Structure 1
Amino acid sequence: MFRTVTRVELSELDMPRADLAEALKCCLKKVRKGHYIIKSNCPNSHVDTIRHLLREPGITFPTFRGDIRDDAEKLRMSIATRRDSLLPEDAFSHMSAALLHGLDPVEVGTERVEVTRPAYSRAYSDLLFYARDLAEDDVDHTLGYPVTTLDRTLADIALDHPLEVSVPLISEGLRERHINRESLLPRLAPGRRGRKRALLALELASELHESGAEAYCAVKFHRHGITGMTPQVTAYSSTGAFIGRNDFRHEKALVVVEVHGVGKYYMHPDGPNAAARQNHQRNMNLVNAGFKVFNLTFGDLFRPKIFEQIKWAITQALEHENH
Structure 2
Amino acid sequence: MQFNDMYKIMTTQQIIRLGFTHADIRRARSCCVRRLSRGVYSVRHVCTVEGHRRLWASIIEGTHSEFTEHGDLRDQIEELDAAVMARCEVRFQKQSQEARQEETNTANGSDTATRTSPASPPAEVFSHISAALIHGLPIAYPVTHQVEVVRPGVNRRFKSIHVRGVTIPKHHRQRVRGTEVTTLERTLIDVARTYNPDISVSMLDDALHRGLTTREKILATLAQCLETRNTKKVHLALELADARRESPAESIAAVRFFQHGFVGFVPQVEFDAPSLRRKIRVDFCHKAARLIVEIDGLGKLYLGSGVPRDELERERRREQWLRDQGWGVIRVTWKELFTEAKFEEIRRALVSAR
TM-score bin (small chain): 0.7 to 0.9
d(CA) in 2 for partners of 1:178, 1:216: 20
1:157 to 2:191 alignment: yes
Aligned-partner SS, 2:295 = strand
Pairing 1:1-323 to 2, within 5 Å after superposition: 1=5, 2-6=7-11, 15=21, 17=23, 19-44=24-49, 48=52, 51-55=53-57, 58-83=63-88, 84-85=90-91, 88-189=122-223, 192-235=228-271, 244-250=280-286, 252-261=288-297, 272-318=308-354
The one-letter amino acid paired with 2:353 is A
Aligned-partner SS, 1:82 = helix
Alpha-carbon distance, 1:274 to partner: 4.1
Alpha-carbon distance, 1:171 to partner: 0.2
* Contact 2:43–2:55 (Cα < 8 Å) also in 1: no
Alpha-carbon distance, 1:280 to partner: 2.3
d(CA) in 2 for partners of 1:188, 1:304: 34
- CA 1:132–1:16: 2 relative to 1, 3 Å: closer
Identity between Structure 1 and Structure 2 (%): 32
Q: Deviations over 1:102-154 (max 9, x none)?
A: 22222242111111233322211211122222222222225443221111111
d(CA) in 1 for partners of 2:155, 2:351: 47
Alpha-carbon distance, 1:187 to partner: 3.6
TM-score, normalized by length of structure 2?
0.75
Q: Deviations over 1:4-25 (max 9, x none)?
A: 34456667866253x4444222
The one-letter amino acid paired with 2:186 is R
The one-letter amino acid paired with 2:319 is N
- CA 1:276–1:54: 2 relative to 1, 3 Å: closer
Aligned-partner SS, 2:87 = coil
Q: Structure 1 stretches of 5 or more lacking a match? A: 265-270, 319-323
Q: Deviations over 1:295-314 (max 9, x none)?
A: 22333323321111111211
- CA 1:286–1:243: 2 relative to 1, 3 Å: farther
Aligned-partner SS, 1:30 = strand
Aligned-partner SS, 1:110 = coil
Alpha-carbon distance, 1:31 to partner: 2.2
The one-letter amino acid paired with 1:15 is T
Aligned residues: 306
216-225 or 72-81, which deviates more: 216-225
d(CA) in 2 for partners of 1:175, 1:253: 27
d(CA) in 2 for partners of 1:174, 1:16: 47
The one-letter amino acid paired with 2:262 is I
* Contact 2:91–2:179 (Cα < 8 Å) also in 1: no
* Contact 2:186–2:222 (Cα < 8 Å) also in 1: no
Q: Deviations over 1:232-285 (max 9, x none)?
A: 234579xxx997432112253222101234889xxxxxx944443333233223
How big is the alpha-carbon RMSD for the aligned residues of Structure 1 and Structure 2? Answer: 3.2
d(CA) in 2 for partners of 1:125, 1:193: 25
d(CA) in 1 for partners of 2:292, 2:177: 42
- CA 1:219–1:98: 2 relative to 1, 3 Å: same
d(CA) in 2 for partners of 1:137, 1:63: 36
